[in-house]
Amino acid sequence: MGLVKEPTQLGDLSLSAAARLLPGVSQPRRLRRPQRRTIVVKSCYPKAVTKTLAFACVLLASCAARAQQNPNGQLPVTSFPHPYLFLIRDPLVLDELKLTSSQQQALAELNDGFDAGLWSMRNKSAEHIAQTIEQSTTKAKETLAKLLSAEQLQRIAEIERWTLGTRAFLGDDLPAELDLNDGQLKRIRQAMEESEQKLSDLRAESTSPEAQTSFDKKARALKTDEQKKILAVISPEQRAKWVELLGKRIDVAKLGRVKFKAPPLYGEGDWINASPMAAEQLEGKVIALHFYAFQCINCKRNQPAYREWHQAFADQGLVVLGVHTPELSSEREVDRVRQNARDADLQFPIVTDNQKQNWDAWGNSMWPSVYLIDKQGYVRYWWYGELNWQGAEGDKLMRARIAELLDE
């Protein structure tokens, strides 16, 4: 393994995924602009908290200003400053670890236990998000230290380094492992900050889907240049140690196909088109759960798609479930919600969420939002905003995913 060639290939780690980094959490709002937009990291929080916040936004897609769509079931984990919680549920990583059946069961239970908190944190304060991620990561590492063998723990550490790429040089472990001095750390940090600034400028210029291909090419060049600068800072011995710590290469482009246990359904509100539904009635069903407010124009534009999904797939086991969470005071009137459902010919079940119990359980932050839940109760795909905004073909993509989930 060449000392320069192999690490340089880490340029693949953050390309288009880095483009989708969502730096900041906004207040709930109706999405009225294109799905792919760039906002600047706000400086109202400490740097470490801001990074954690960005991680939460990208991963679980809660930022109202620019959402990370997930119609393909793959998250950009190489963009996350702290990817550990998502690596330990990734099928590719689990396959690498060669878990026993008892380990698989224990790890699945561990992950399921995190999910309610990971969903609900998304529309909370930056401090709450940071604390949730820190506590969950600490618990995960402590549990896995007892559950996994030394070889398995080493392998997941290697995969985490591959996933982090050059960011690992400023992490908690690698500087000590490589015995980096203060001067080296300063130069590495400078190279990364320069690269990130250029990448940020590039994002601002690449707001349309048509510009994405050009962005990816330029972003790859930036990351490659950054890595060359870092390699020039460290000694041959440190490079050799880095290669050793990376271990066997893993195709990070295939990471991110993770799933999360759906939050519980709170059905205390008024029900439209159905009697109150308990969780047991939804077991074994594919569910298209969508949040909306009946006066939201973006929500209205999605209603024909929801109606067609119900008509096309209800007999095959799909439950289209509307959750009406009001934004305006007039949207709290149940009779008006019911009348809107009649006018729009929405025949699927709808539960009113005036107390925002479901909204907060999901950590939702925008109208409209739709999540696809598989027969085992795991969230697999989602879409934020209008499905067909400026030719986005969200309806077509999500319809295909519904068909796939029904066939499983």
pLDDT, residue 350, reads 98
DSSP 28-43: PEE--S-SS---PPPS
**Cβ atoms of 17 and 76 closer than 8 Å:** yes
Please indicate, yes or no, whether residues 313 and 330 belong to a single structural domain of this protein: yes
Please indicate, yes or no, whether residues 215 and 312 belong to a single structural domain of this protein: no
Please indicate, yes or no, whether residues 305 and 230 belong to a single structural domain of this protein: no
pLDDT, residue 85, reads 96
What is the DSSP-derived secondary structure letter of residue 94? H
What residue numbers bound the domain in which 310 lies?
Answer: 262-407
Please indicate, yes or no, whether residues 241 and 189 belong to a single structural domain of this protein: yes
pLDDT, residue 355, reads 96
202-228: b (≥16 Cβ within 10 Å) or e: bbeebbeeebbeebbebbbebbbebbe
Please indicate, yes or no, whether residues 43 and 172 belong to a single structural domain of this protein: yes
Number of structural domains (the chain) is 2
Instruction: Choose the final residue of a domain: 236, 254, 272.
Output: 254
Structure token digits, residue 215: 């962005």
Please indicate, yes or no, whether residues 179 and 205 belong to a single structural domain of this protein: yes
**Cβ atoms of 227 and 168 closer than 8 Å:** no
Please indicate, yes or no, whether residues 292 and 213 belong to a single structural domain of this protein: no
Structure token digits, residue 33: 């602009």
pLDDT, residue 211, reads 66
**Cβ atoms of 56 and 120 closer than 8 Å:** no
Report CA 228 to chain centroid distance, whole Å. Answer: 30
Please indicate, yes or no, whether residues 150 and 46 belong to a single structural domain of this protein: yes
How many other CB atoms are found less than 10 A from the CB of residue 324? Answer: 27
pLDDT, residue 383, reads 96
Alpha-carbon gap, residue 372 to 379, rounded angstroms:
6
Asked if residue 368 has a cis previous peptide bond (ω within 30° of 0), the answer is yes
Question: Which residues is 367 bridged to in the sheet?
Answer: 30
Instruction: Choose the final residue of a domain: 222, 254, 286.
Output: 254
Q: Write the CB contacts of 403 (distance below 8 Å, at least 6 apart in sequence).
A: 313
pLDDT string in tens for the chain (408-residue length): 222 223 333 333 232 332 222 222 333 445 433 333 322 223 233 344 344 444 444 444 333 334 578 999 999 998 888 899 999 999 999 999 999 999 999 999 999 999 999 999 999 998 999 999 999 999 999 999 999 999 999 999 999 999 999 999 998 889 999 999 999 999 999 999 999 899 888 888 876 656 667 777 888 899 889 999 999 999 999 999 999 999 999 999 999 999 999 999 999 999 999 999 988 889 999 999 999 999 999 999 999 999 999 999 999 999 999 999 999 999 999 999 999 999 999 999 999 999 999 999 999 999 999 999 999 999 999 999 999 988 889 999 999 999 999 999
Entry pTM: 0.82
Alpha-carbon gap, residue 287 to 25, rounded angstroms:
27
Residue type, 342: R
Question: Which residues is 384 bridged to in the sheet?
Answer: 369
301-313: b (≥16 Cβ within 10 Å) or e: ebbebbbebbeeb
At 336, which CATH number?
A: 3.40.30.10
Alpha-carbon gap, residue 394 to 391, rounded angstroms:
8
Please indicate, yes or no, whether residues 96 and 124 belong to a single structural domain of this protein: yes
Q: Which residue has the tokens 């209603």?
A: 303
Please indicate, yes or no, whether residues 245 and 336 belong to a single structural domain of this protein: no
Please indicate, yes or no, whether residues 160 and 190 belong to a single structural domain of this protein: yes
pLDDT, residue 209, reads 59
Instruction: Choose the final residue of a domain: 207, 226, 254.
Output: 254
Please indicate, yes or no, whether residues 198 and 79 belong to a single structural domain of this protein: yes
